[in-house]
Amino acid sequence: MQASFRSQRGISLVGLIVVLAILGFAGILAAKILPAYMEYSNIKKAIADTKEAGGSITEMHRTYSKAREINDITAVRATDLVISKETGDTEISFAYDKVIPLVGNASLLLEFQGTTAADGVVPDSAATR
C-alpha cells in the first residue's frame, strides 16, 4: 500500500490555486501592458513612414499627424517629435513615459523612446521630454 502512495503524482488543490493566481496576475498584467507596446510600435512605424515621405518640417508634422489619426496614437503628438539633421540625413526621434495603474496606488512606469537614426541613438533633446 505504501508503494502506491509514492507512485501517485500530481498537484494539490492549494498548488493549483497558487498557479492559477500567478497565471491570472500575469494575464492581467499582459492585458494592461500590450496596448502600450502596440502604440509604441505604431509610433515607430509612423515616424519611419514620415521620414520616408520627406519634405519640410511642416510637411513631416502633417504626415505624422495623418498617421497619428489613422493609428489612434495618443502618446506622441507631431509637436513632440524631434526632427534633426545631425549626419546630413533627416532623423526623427521621440521619447515618452506611460504610467499604467495596477492596483490601488501601485503603478507601472514604462519609458519609451525611438528614432529613425541607423545607430539607434536618441538625441538628448528627445530623451528629456
- For the segment 85-112, what is each residue's pLDDT rounded down to a tens digit? 877 788 999 999 999 998 899 999 999 9
Contact of 63 with 57, CB cutoff 8 Å: no
| Exposure b/e, 15-46, CB count within 10 A at least 16 = b | eeeeeeeeeeeeeeeeeeeeeeeebbebbeeb
Q: Which residue has the cell 534633426?
A: 84
pTM over 0.85: no
Taking every pair of C-alpha atoms in the chain, what is the biggest distance, in angstroms? 84
Counting residues of the chain whose pLDDT is more than 70, the rounded percentage is 88
pLDDT in tens, 8-30: 678 889 999 999 999 999 999 99
Mean pLDDT, all residues of the chain: 88
Residue whose C-alpha cell reads 526632427 in the numeric block:
83
